[in-house]
Amino acid sequence: MSRIGKQPVSVPSGVTANIDGQTVSVRGPKGQLEAVLVAEVMASMGDDGITIKPRDETKRSRSMWGMQRTIVANMIEGVSSGFSKSLEINGVGYRAQVQGRALQLALGFSHNVKYEVPEGIDVVCPKPTEITISGIDKQKVGQVAAEIRRYRPPEPYKGKGVKYAGEYIFRKEGKKK
Protein backbone atom coordinates (compact mmCIF):
# COMPACT_ATOMS: atom_id res chain seq x y z
CA MET A 1 0.00 0.00 0.00
CA SER A 2 1.24 3.44 -0.89
CA ARG A 3 1.53 5.63 2.18
CA ILE A 4 1.68 8.76 0.05
CA GLY A 5 -1.10 7.67 -2.29
CA LYS A 6 -3.57 7.10 0.56
CA GLN A 7 -3.51 10.75 1.61
CA PRO A 8 -5.94 13.07 -0.20
CA VAL A 9 -4.56 16.19 -1.89
CA SER A 10 -6.12 19.21 -0.23
CA VAL A 11 -7.21 22.07 -2.49
CA PRO A 12 -6.49 25.45 -0.83
CA SER A 13 -8.78 28.45 -1.15
CA GLY A 14 -8.20 30.39 -4.36
CA VAL A 15 -7.44 27.19 -6.30
CA THR A 16 -10.06 25.34 -8.35
CA ALA A 17 -9.58 21.75 -9.45
CA ASN A 18 -11.54 19.96 -12.15
CA ILE A 19 -11.54 16.22 -12.93
CA ASP A 20 -12.75 15.04 -16.34
CA GLY A 21 -12.10 11.31 -16.71
CA GLN A 22 -8.32 10.90 -16.54
CA THR A 23 -7.61 14.63 -16.99
CA VAL A 24 -7.01 16.76 -13.91
CA SER A 25 -6.91 20.52 -14.47
CA VAL A 26 -6.00 23.04 -11.78
CA ARG A 27 -6.40 26.82 -11.88
CA GLY A 28 -4.92 29.20 -9.33
CA PRO A 29 -3.58 32.71 -8.87
CA LYS A 30 -0.29 31.92 -10.69
CA GLY A 31 -1.82 30.15 -13.71
CA GLN A 32 -3.34 26.93 -14.95
CA LEU A 33 -1.94 23.39 -15.25
CA GLU A 34 -3.37 20.20 -16.68
CA ALA A 35 -2.22 16.58 -16.45
CA VAL A 36 -3.51 13.30 -17.85
CA LEU A 37 -3.28 10.51 -15.28
CA VAL A 38 -2.27 6.99 -16.32
CA ALA A 39 -5.06 4.48 -16.97
CA GLU A 40 -4.15 2.35 -13.93
CA VAL A 41 -5.36 4.97 -11.41
CA MET A 42 -8.57 6.96 -11.00
CA ALA A 43 -9.10 10.36 -9.44
CA SER A 44 -12.16 11.58 -7.55
CA MET A 45 -13.09 14.84 -5.90
CA GLY A 46 -14.26 14.75 -2.29
CA ASP A 47 -14.83 17.04 0.68
CA ASP A 48 -11.23 16.65 1.84
CA GLY A 49 -9.72 17.19 -1.63
CA ILE A 50 -8.65 15.05 -4.57
CA THR A 51 -8.25 11.33 -3.88
CA ILE A 52 -6.22 9.02 -6.13
CA LYS A 53 -6.93 5.28 -6.05
CA PRO A 54 -5.59 2.32 -8.04
CA ARG A 55 -8.10 0.65 -10.36
CA ASP A 56 -6.91 -2.87 -9.46
CA GLU A 57 -4.19 -4.59 -7.44
CA THR A 58 -1.62 -5.06 -10.21
CA LYS A 59 2.01 -4.14 -9.61
CA ARG A 60 1.93 -1.30 -12.15
CA SER A 61 -1.21 0.31 -10.70
CA ARG A 62 0.28 0.21 -7.20
CA SER A 63 3.54 1.66 -8.59
CA MET A 64 1.76 4.54 -10.31
CA TRP A 65 -0.54 5.35 -7.37
CA GLY A 66 1.83 7.46 -5.24
CA MET A 67 3.50 9.10 -8.24
CA GLN A 68 0.22 10.28 -9.75
CA ARG A 69 -0.88 11.68 -6.37
CA THR A 70 2.42 13.58 -6.12
CA ILE A 71 1.98 14.99 -9.64
CA VAL A 72 -1.46 16.36 -8.68
CA ALA A 73 -0.07 17.76 -5.39
CA ASN A 74 2.77 19.49 -7.28
CA MET A 75 0.28 21.00 -9.73
CA ILE A 76 -1.77 22.47 -6.87
CA GLU A 77 1.35 23.79 -5.11
CA GLY A 78 2.63 25.25 -8.40
CA VAL A 79 -0.49 27.27 -9.23
CA SER A 80 -0.78 28.54 -5.65
CA SER A 81 2.84 29.37 -4.71
CA GLY A 82 5.13 28.26 -7.58
CA PHE A 83 8.55 26.60 -7.61
CA SER A 84 12.08 27.98 -7.89
CA LYS A 85 15.63 26.65 -8.12
CA SER A 86 18.84 28.58 -7.63
CA LEU A 87 22.15 27.96 -9.38
CA GLU A 88 25.57 29.31 -8.42
CA ILE A 89 28.43 29.91 -10.83
CA ASN A 90 32.01 29.47 -9.55
CA GLY A 91 35.09 30.28 -11.59
CA VAL A 92 37.18 33.23 -12.70
CA GLY A 93 35.37 35.07 -15.49
CA TYR A 94 32.29 32.83 -15.27
CA ARG A 95 29.09 34.88 -15.29
CA ALA A 96 25.50 34.98 -16.52
CA GLN A 97 23.07 37.65 -17.67
CA VAL A 98 19.53 37.67 -19.00
CA GLN A 99 18.90 39.27 -22.39
CA GLY A 100 15.19 39.21 -23.24
CA ARG A 101 14.05 35.56 -23.26
CA ALA A 102 17.63 34.24 -23.50
CA LEU A 103 20.26 33.53 -20.85
CA GLN A 104 23.80 34.49 -21.84
CA LEU A 105 26.45 32.37 -20.08
CA ALA A 106 30.22 32.98 -20.07
CA LEU A 107 31.62 29.66 -18.85
CA GLY A 108 35.22 29.65 -20.01
CA PHE A 109 34.56 28.47 -23.56
CA SER A 110 35.85 30.34 -26.61
CA HIS A 111 32.27 31.56 -27.14
CA ASN A 112 29.36 32.58 -24.92
CA VAL A 113 26.60 30.02 -24.45
CA LYS A 114 23.11 31.30 -25.29
CA TYR A 115 20.25 29.38 -23.65
CA GLU A 116 16.70 30.08 -24.88
CA VAL A 117 14.34 30.08 -21.87
CA PRO A 118 11.21 27.97 -22.51
CA GLU A 119 7.68 29.36 -22.21
CA GLY A 120 6.28 29.41 -18.67
CA ILE A 121 9.69 29.74 -17.00
CA ASP A 122 11.21 32.94 -15.59
CA VAL A 123 14.97 33.31 -15.24
CA VAL A 124 16.50 36.11 -13.15
CA CYS A 125 20.16 36.89 -12.41
CA PRO A 126 20.30 38.92 -9.16
CA LYS A 127 24.13 38.77 -9.34
CA PRO A 128 26.35 37.79 -12.28
CA THR A 129 27.19 34.55 -10.45
CA GLU A 130 23.64 33.58 -9.44
CA ILE A 131 20.73 32.30 -11.53
CA THR A 132 17.19 31.91 -10.16
CA ILE A 133 14.74 29.81 -12.18
CA SER A 134 11.04 29.96 -11.28
CA GLY A 135 7.75 28.74 -12.68
CA ILE A 136 4.56 26.85 -11.86
CA ASP A 137 5.58 23.46 -13.36
CA LYS A 138 8.00 21.67 -11.03
CA GLN A 139 9.24 19.29 -13.71
CA LYS A 140 9.96 22.09 -16.17
CA VAL A 141 11.79 24.21 -13.55
CA GLY A 142 14.03 21.25 -12.63
CA GLN A 143 14.65 20.39 -16.29
CA VAL A 144 15.75 23.95 -17.14
CA ALA A 145 18.07 24.01 -14.10
CA ALA A 146 19.60 20.68 -15.14
CA GLU A 147 20.10 21.83 -18.74
CA ILE A 148 21.88 25.01 -17.62
CA ARG A 149 24.05 23.04 -15.16
CA ARG A 150 24.94 20.56 -17.91
CA TYR A 151 26.86 23.21 -19.88
CA ARG A 152 29.63 23.25 -17.23
CA PRO A 153 29.07 20.87 -14.28
CA PRO A 154 31.27 21.56 -11.24
CA GLU A 155 34.63 19.82 -11.42
CA PRO A 156 36.13 18.16 -8.31
CA TYR A 157 39.58 19.79 -8.25
CA LYS A 158 38.86 23.54 -8.11
CA GLY A 159 35.04 23.44 -7.87
CA LYS A 160 34.62 25.57 -10.99
CA GLY A 161 31.32 25.32 -12.87
CA VAL A 162 27.57 25.68 -12.42
CA LYS A 163 26.09 24.04 -9.31
CA TYR A 164 22.80 24.03 -7.47
CA ALA A 165 22.64 26.37 -4.47
CA GLY A 166 23.59 24.38 -1.39
CA GLU A 167 25.03 21.47 -3.42
CA TYR A 168 28.15 19.91 -1.91
CA ILE A 169 30.98 19.29 -4.36
CA PHE A 170 33.27 16.45 -3.32
CA ARG A 171 36.78 17.90 -3.66
CA LYS A 172 39.80 15.88 -4.72
CA GLU A 173 43.42 16.50 -3.89
CA GLY A 174 45.65 17.56 -6.77
CA LYS A 175 48.83 15.88 -7.96
CA LYS A 176 51.58 15.46 -5.41
CA LYS A 177 55.22 16.00 -6.21
pLDDT confidence of residue 11: 92
Q: Is residue 172 part of a domain?
A: no
The one-digit pLDDT tens for each residue of the chain (177 residues) are 668 888 999 999 999 999 998 999 999 999 999 999 999 999 999 888 999 999 998 999 988 999 999 999 999 999 999 999 999 999 999 999 999 999 999 999 999 999 999 999 999 999 999 999 999 999 999 999 999 999 999 999 998 999 999 999 999 998 887
CATH of the domain at 40: 3.90.930.12
- pTM of whole model > 0.85? yes
pLDDT confidence of residue 2: 64
Query: At which of 80, 100, 116 does a domain end?
Result: 80
Could you tell me the residue range of the domain that residue 59 belongs to? 3-80
Question: How many domains does the chain contain in total?
Answer: 2
pLDDT confidence of residue 175: 87
Query: At which of 21, 56, 80 does a domain end?
Result: 80
Distance CA 152, CA 130 (A): 14
Nearest to 130 by CA among 83, 86, 84: 86
pLDDT confidence of residue 176: 85
Please indicate, yes or no, whether residues 137 and 157 belong to a single structural domain of this protein.
yes
Please indicate, yes or no, whether residues 65 and 131 belong to a single structural domain of this protein.
no
pLDDT confidence of residue 6: 87
Distance CA 155, CA 27 (A): 42
Q: Is residue 170 part of a domain?
A: no
Please indicate, yes or no, whether residues 16 and 49 belong to a single structural domain of this protein.
yes
Other CB atoms within 10 Å distance of the CB of residue 100 = 8
Query: At which of 65, 80, 95 does a domain end?
Result: 80
pLDDT confidence of residue 1: 61
